[in-house]
């Protein structure tokens, strides 16, 4: 049963039923691979396409050599290194090698355009860019943009090799000593992923070595892969969900990570069959495909023992259909966010009777408040902390406090203050409730962020692009659910006087400047975008307009 304890300000606080865990003051590469030698020749990574295997011993040695190679190249403690790559067996070598050299790694979406990449490089202050040859043209365009603005990169490293660029093989051949950067796990930033948070444009999320390492220890109470368990990794490593659930946690536990560069359902199913995969960690679109696509019946998926789905809400009926199709007792769910390193709740694979449709119980050393939304229908921004604390079964905004809370948004103290209050509570922007057994349910979100197939899309970013078109006078973007329940960006556009702009022209204009998942999927023309007296877009009116169709 859930424990409810009074806290400062007499808030009603939900606490985990599990004993607290000690803070883990280790650099992330030590927390994950510090014990790798004990797994020896056991496979740590398997390429799901080629079958190439990397043992724990080889991975540990590779990380140490990559760190030495990066140190020889000039990487120092506090430098920011951008990692722009799809999932490969070389990705963890580059990632952990960079942190071992003392760098902060900013992970970049493999779908980023040159403009988006340049923006993240500039905002994060990255001096180093590690990529792969298929992405080199995009990387060079981004580097040229930075150079023109007076902030050139120190170097572009191409993992699989390209003329004129240092490669992973070159880093592995380094003969220098392993660097000893003297990291402070509590203050040094290990990872700087970009998230839109509860609203607005993407922001760098400062995750310390301590927050990530401790969150792994917190997660153990509910989810810890077994030694030798085979986990299929198709979710992108650049996303905190993929990084935590498909690299950090399984490699820390001695599991085998079977790596795929992208999701193709036939390849996905074939790899499960050939590699006898036991665990799937996915987002809802993959669960949908597994539940409904006829191709699934062509493969033997009997090795599967569980499927964990997170990153976006999963419809309960869809979850049941997926479980039936795969012969599993249930689909497991979890909850977290980039700003939480990222896990707060999980349904354990070992539970016999979790509350159906929930995202699980709270991990140790974590506190939760459920706060009533204010009269404007928001619970974030300038209104944080103003609502009444609610008890079991009552719906409100979720506030989280614990060692996994981010250090803040990089270079954005006002955004940080709008998300983390003076008492250390992170205001998630998600609406949910806790049942009498301590299971959390996510029912809605007050934040403006759109989640398209698990990817984050910031309305403000698309609105800024739209307003740059000479034929557009005003614009607003919201998420609209289609027949499958997938939320898609829809633009409401006010044409400029004399403009004859069409829907096709608007979608093409946006598509040419953003990653595919950010594309506007529908356009409606309005005479005016509804706004408050203060000029804030009234998205609830646009949503009501959609609901009334």
Is the pLDDT at 4 greater than 70, yes or no? Answer: no
Torsion sign (Cα): 336, 341, 343, 344: negative
Give the Cα-Cα-Cα angle 330, 333, 336 (nearest 5 degrees).
Answer: 175
Tens-place pLDDT, residues 348-370: 999 999 999 999 999 999 999 99
Q: How far is residue 197's CA from residue 457's CA, in Å, rounded to a whole number?
A: 10
Is the pLDDT at 378 greater than 60, yes or no? Answer: no
Q: Lowest mean pLDDT of 164-178, 237-251, 441-455, name the range.
A: 441-455
pLDDT of amino acid 386:
54
Q: Residue 484 belongs to what domain range?
A: 450-547
Is the pLDDT at 544 greater than 90, yes or no? Answer: no
Tens-place pLDDT, residues 101-132: 999 999 999 999 999 999 999 999 999 999 99
Is the pLDDT at 88 greater than 60, yes or no? Answer: yes
Residues 6+ apart with CB under 8 A from 423: 8, 9, 401
Residue 279 forms part of a structural domain? no
3-state helix, strand, coil in the chain (%, to 5): 30, 25, 45
Residue 486 forms part of a structural domain? yes
Integer-rounded Cα Rg, in Å, for the chain is 23
Tens-place pLDDT, residues 211-249: 999 999 999 999 999 999 999 999 999 999 999 999 999
**199 band by pLDDT with thresholds 50, 70 and 90:** low
Dig out the tokens for 68 from the structure.
């030495």
Residue 292 forms part of a structural domain? no
User: β-pairing, 279-282 with 230-233?
Assistant: parallel
Q: How far is residue 202's CA from residue 220's CA, in Å, rounded to a whole number?
A: 30
Mean pLDDT (whole number) for 483-492: 88
Contact 100, 111 (CB under 8 A): no
Q: How far is residue 23's CA from residue 262's CA, in Å, rounded to a whole number?
A: 35
Contact 522, 491 (CB under 8 A): yes
Mean pLDDT (whole number) for 275-293: 92
Percent of the chain with pLDDT over 70: 93
CATH number at residue 506: 3.30.300.30
Tens-place pLDDT, residues 37-73: 899 999 999 999 999 999 999 999 999 999 999 999 9
Mean pLDDT (whole number) for 436-446: 86
Where is mean pLDDT largest: 58-67, 278-287, 467-476? 58-67
* Count: domains in the chain: 1
pLDDT of amino acid 224:
97
Q: Which residues pair with 191 in a beta bridge?
A: 105, 207
pLDDT of amino acid 234:
96
Residue 538 forms part of a structural domain? yes
516: nearest Cα among 259, 137, 262, 314: 262
- How many whole angstroms from its chain centre is CA 163? 33
pLDDT of amino acid 385:
45
536: nearest Cα among 376, 375, 372: 376
Q: How far is residue 362's CA from residue 441's CA, in Å, rounded to a whole number?
A: 11
Contact 244, 214 (CB under 8 A): no
Residue 261 forms part of a structural domain? no
Q: Which residues pair with 489 in a beta bridge?
A: 479
**374 band by pLDDT with thresholds 50, 70 and 90:** low
Residue 228 forms part of a structural domain? no
Residue 522 forms part of a structural domain? yes
Contact 181, 102 (CB under 8 A): yes
Q: How far is residue 133's CA from residue 131's CA, in Å, rounded to a whole number?
A: 7
**10 band by pLDDT with thresholds 50, 70 and 90:** low
Residue 462 forms part of a structural domain? yes
């Amino acid at each position: 049963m859930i424990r409810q304890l009074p806290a400062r300000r007499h808030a009603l606080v939900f606490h985990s039923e599990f004993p607290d865990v000690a803070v883990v003051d280790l650099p992330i590469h030590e927390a994950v691979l510090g014990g790798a030698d004990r797994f020896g020749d056991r496979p740590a990574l398997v390429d799901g396409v080629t079958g190439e295997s990397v043992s724990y011993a080889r991975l540990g040695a590779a990380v140490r050599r990559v760190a030495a190679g990066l140190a020889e190249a000039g990487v120092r403690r506090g430098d920011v290194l951008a990692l722009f790559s799809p999932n490969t067996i070389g990705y963890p070598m580059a990632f952990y090698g960079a942190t071992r050299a003392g760098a902060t790694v900013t992970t970049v979406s493999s779908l980023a355009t040159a403009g988006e990449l340049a923006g993240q490089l500039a905002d994060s202050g990255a001096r180093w860019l590690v990529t792969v040859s298929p992405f080199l043209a995009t990387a060079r365009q981004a580097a040229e943009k930075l150079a023109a603005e007076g902030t050139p990169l120190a170097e572009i490293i191409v993992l699989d090799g390209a003329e004129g660029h240092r490669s992973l093989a070159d880093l592995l051949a380094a003969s220098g000593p392993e660097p000893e950067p003297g990291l402070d796990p509590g203050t040094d930033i290990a990872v700087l992923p970009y998230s839109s948070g509860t609203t607005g444009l993407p922001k760098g999320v400062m995750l310390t070595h301590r927050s990530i390492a401790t969150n792994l220890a917190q997660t153990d109470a509910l989810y810890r892969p077994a030694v030798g368990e085979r986990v299929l990794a198709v979710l992108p490593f650049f996303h905190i969900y993929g990084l935590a659930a498909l690299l950090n946690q399984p490699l820390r536990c001695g599991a085998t990570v079977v790596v795929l560069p992208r999701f193709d359902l036939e390849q996905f199913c074939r790899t499960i069959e050939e590699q006898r995969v036991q665990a799937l960690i996915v987002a809802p679109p993959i669960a949908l495909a597994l539940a409904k696509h006829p191709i699934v019946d062509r493969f033997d998926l009997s090795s599967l023992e569980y499927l964990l789905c997170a990153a976006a809400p999963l419809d309960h009926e869809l979850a049941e259909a997926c479980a039936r199709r795969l012969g599993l007792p249930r689909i497991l769910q979890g909850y977290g966010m980039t700003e939480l390193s990222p896990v707060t709740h999980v349904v354990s694979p070992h539970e016999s009777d979790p509350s159906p449709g929930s995202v699980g119980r709270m991990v140790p050393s974590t506190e939760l408040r459920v706060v009533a939304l204010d009269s404007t229908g928001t619970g974030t921004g300038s209104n944080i902390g103003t609502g009444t604390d609610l008890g079991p079964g009552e719906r409100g905004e979720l506030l989280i406090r614990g060692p996994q809370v981010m250090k803040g948004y990089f270079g954005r103290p006002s955004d940080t203050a709008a998300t983390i209050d003076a008492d250390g509570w992170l205001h998630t922007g998600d609406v949910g409730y806790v049942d009498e057994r301590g299971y959390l349910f996510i029912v809605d979100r007050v934040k403006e962020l759109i989640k398209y197939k698990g990817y984050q899309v910031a309305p403000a970013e698309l609105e800024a692009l739209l307003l740059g078109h000479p034929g557009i006078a005003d614009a607003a973007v919201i998420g609209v659910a289609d027949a499958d329940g997938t939320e898609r960006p829809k633009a409401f556009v006010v044409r400029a006087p004399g403009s004859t702009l069409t829907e096709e022209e608007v979608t093409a204009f946006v598509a040419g400047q953003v990653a595919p998942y950010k594309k506007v999927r529908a356009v409606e023309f309005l005479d005016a975008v509804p706004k408050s007296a203060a000029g804030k877009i009234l998205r609830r009116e646009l949503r009501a307009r959609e609901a009334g169709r």
